Chain A
Amino acid sequence: MPMNNNNERLRLPIAYLTSFVLSILLTVLVALFVFKQTFFTQQAVFKAFDQSSYVNIARESLIENSKEIIIQYGVDESIIDDLYNPIQFEEDLKGSLQSIWTKQVYQIDSSILDTEIKARLNQFLVNQGLTITTEVQVGIDEASQLIIDEYQKKSTIPLLSAYRSIMVTYEKYLNYSELILGVLLIGLTYFLYRLLSKSKVSLFIGYALATSSWLMFLLALYFRVDGFYTRIQIRPEYINKLLVILGSNTLNLFIYLSLGGIGLSLFLFYMAYHKDKS
């Protein structure tokens, strides 16, 4: 491309500006990608679900709450021991979680539990030498219903519908954003190719990549060290732990990607200077 002196002088500031804009677009694109990967993919959420020991904590909480309920009915809390099948509970929890992506309501079958709790309550009363009057039968039905309600509550992931609606909105927004950002990134990179020599292009793309990487690395590192996500005041415990793990995985991915970006920009700089020299 024929260039006069004025044009030559203009090239460098334009290249810097383009590189600056390129780094902003790259940062936004990577941030959207990271949030999508860590918060909205089935694999990532299930991984965090396992890492947070969600099933065990929720099961302990279920047992504790059930004991609280049953004790109000004058029944010994030992009746709750081994009442819940851990495998079934895990299956129900995972089924409930999976419904975010399948978009179908997961039905919890509590008929076996209903039979079991009623049998245990009847046995308890027989052992106490008591007659099952109509009034006592009402108590049995009511207590077992409360236990089943507690089971269904605990085996359904809280805030599920809110999460699903956020995910749907985010995905829609992300699809458009990715498209727009992708087109802009390609356009600006092509512009740099037309503006500069090959070695200089590597240099300015390197600047954009390094800027974006440093930006994410420093920010993620700050949040990781500050650990604000570990102090989040949300109950119950299993949801809190799940959120902490999700937050931690998100920051980790930011850090890994930014380190990769720094490495790649190092390579681009090396290439740029090496070509210049040769």
Chain B
Amino acid sequence: MFIKLIKKVMVALLIVPLLFCALEYGFFYFTLKPLIDPMISMAGLLVSDSAIDFGDDLDSIYVEQDFTDRGTVPLSEVVIPYVGTYYARIESPRVGLSVRLYWGDSLKILRKGAGQYIGSNLPGFKKPLLIAGHNITTFNPIQNMIVGDLITIKTNYGQYIYEVYEIAIKKSMDTEAFNLERSEEILIMYSCYPFHILRSHKYDRFIVYGRRISGPDIK
């Protein structure tokens, strides 16, 4: 008898309420459709397929390795980095420069290391490279550079050496100083200038120019 009662109760709990439920979903859907549709569209703008990524870890594709001078490297061996990827190291032992080189030069990147302007070229393409670094941290050692110093960029596909041929202090808006239209592989490294003085706006740039003296061409 008790089992029968329980059965009755369970049926009452499921059949009528779930039938009502289905009717109510339909009722709400049709009556509130003009309100729900724009809300769903708005939600589509705010909600995506995956959770938002707040991580600030930059990607890395650089692997330390020794290279013998190969003369040329096939293009297929060159991995074009995404913006924010650590893809090379830039070193100049005489002045104590040894930092990570990232593809891109946003503030976030510059806090981690040197950043290469993505409108410039990767090493080996016989076109200028434009690399920035903070004057107080990453590129602080470049103030001690002199003409004739060697700067090495180590990538996954080859090691490139540049010889400094000019050091200059120029205005940040001087476009000629950062000319990327040249058809030779010039390394342009720059930092804010002066190096240690707290100034409201630093309009000057300390620029080191280097010319490639070794490293494989990309074919």
In contact, B5 and A273 (Cβ under 8 angstroms): yes
- Out of B17, B56, B194, B197, name the residue touching A211 (CB < 8 Å): B17
B52 touches A75 (CB 8 A): no
What chain B residues lie within 8 Å of A164 (beta carbons)? none
Whether A269 and B200, one on each chain, are in contact in the complex, defined by CB atoms closer than 8 angstroms, is no
Instruction: Report whether A215 and B21 are in contact in the complex, using a CB–CB cutoff of 8 Å.
Output: yes
Are A20 and B20 in contact, with the CB atoms below 8 A? Answer: yes
Q: How many A-B pairs fall under 8 Å by CB?
A: 127
B129: CB under 8 A from chain A? Answer: no
- 20 extra interface residue pairs, beta carbon distance < 8 Å, beyond A20-B24, A210-B13: A23-B20, A27-B24, A68-B111, A74-B195, A77-B111, A77-B137, A135-B200, A136-B198, A143-B200, A207-B17, A210-B16, A213-B17, A218-B21, A230-B51, A231-B48, A231-B50, A234-B52, A266-B9, A273-B9, A273-B12
A102–B51 alpha-carbon span in the complex (Å): 34
Q: Is the CB of A74 within 8 A of B198?
A: yes
A-B residue pairs in contact (CB < 8 Å), sample of 17: A71-B136, A74-B198, A74-B199, A76-B136, A128-B196, A136-B198, A139-B198, A207-B16, A213-B17, A215-B24, A231-B47, A233-B48, A233-B52, A235-B52, A270-B5, A273-B5, A273-B8
A74 touches B192 (CB 8 A): yes
Q: Contacts A71-B111, A274-B5; is A214 near B18 (CB within 8 Å)? A: yes
Interface assignment of B173: CB less than 8 Å from any CB of chain A: no
A121 at the interface (CB under 8 A from B): yes
Tell me the chain B residues, 158-202 only, with Cβ under 8 Å from chain A.
192, 194-200, 202
Beta-carbon contact of B49 and A231 below 8 Å = yes
B47 contact set on A, CB distance < 8 A: 228-229, 231-233
A142 in contact with B16 (CB, 8 Å): no
Q: Is the CB of B20 within 8 A of A207?
A: yes
Q: Are A121 and B5 in contact (CB under 8 A)?
A: no
Partner of A232, one of B5, B21, B23, B52: B52
| B39 CB-CB contact with A under 8 Å | no
Q: Please tell me which one of the listed residues B12, B18, B24, B192 contacts residue A24 in the complex, with CB atoms under 8 A apart.
A: B24
Of the residues A23, A74, A124, A240, contact of B135 by C-beta under 8 Å: A74
A71 touches B134 (CB 8 A): yes
A6-26 Cβ-contact flags toward B at 8 Å (1 or 0): 000000000010011001100
Interface string of B131-175 (1 = CB under 8 A from A): 000111100000000000000000000000000000000000000
A250 to nearest B CB, angstroms? 15
Nearest CB in chain A: distance from B141 CB, A: 15
A139 touches B200 (CB 8 A): yes
A residues less than 8 Å from B196 (CB atoms): 74, 128, 130
Interface residues contributed by chain B, number (CB under 8 Å): 39
Cβ 8 A contact of A277, one of B5, B17, B18: B5
The docked-state distance in angstroms from the alpha carbon of A218 to that of B52 is 27
Residues of B within 8 A of A130 (CB): 196-198
**Complex interface bits, B18-47 against A, C-beta within 8 A gives 1, otherwise 0:** 101101110100000000000000010011
Interface centre among B17, B56, B194, B196 (most CB of A within 10 A): B17
Nearest-CB residue, chain B, relative to A23? B20
Contacts of A73 in B (CB 8 A): 198-200
Residues of A within 8 A of B (CB): 16, 19-20, 23-24, 27, 64, 67-68, 71-77, 121, 124-125, 128, 130, 135-136, 138-140, 142-143, 203, 206-207, 210-211, 213-215, 218, 228-235, 237, 240, 262, 265-266, 269-270, 272-274, 277
Report the minimum CB–CB distance from B132 to chain A (whole Å). Answer: 12
| Interface residue? B107 (CB, 8 A) | yes
C-alpha spacing A232/B51, complex, angstroms:
7
- B17 and A269 form a contact (CB under 8 A): no
B199 touches A136 (CB 8 A): yes
- Whether B24 and A269, one on each chain, are in contact in the complex, defined by CB atoms closer than 8 angstroms, is no
Q: Kindly list chain B residues whose C-beta atoms are within 8 Å of the C-beta of A74.
A: 135-136, 192, 194-199, 202
- In the complex, how many angstroms separate the beta carbon of B41 from the nearest chain A beta carbon? 14
CB distance from B36 to the nearest CB of A (A): 13
Of all chain A residues, which has the CB nearest B138?
Answer: A71
User: What residues of chain B lie closer than 8 Å to A274, measured between beta carbons?
Assistant: 5
With the chains together, A229 CA to B46 CA distance in Å?
Answer: 9
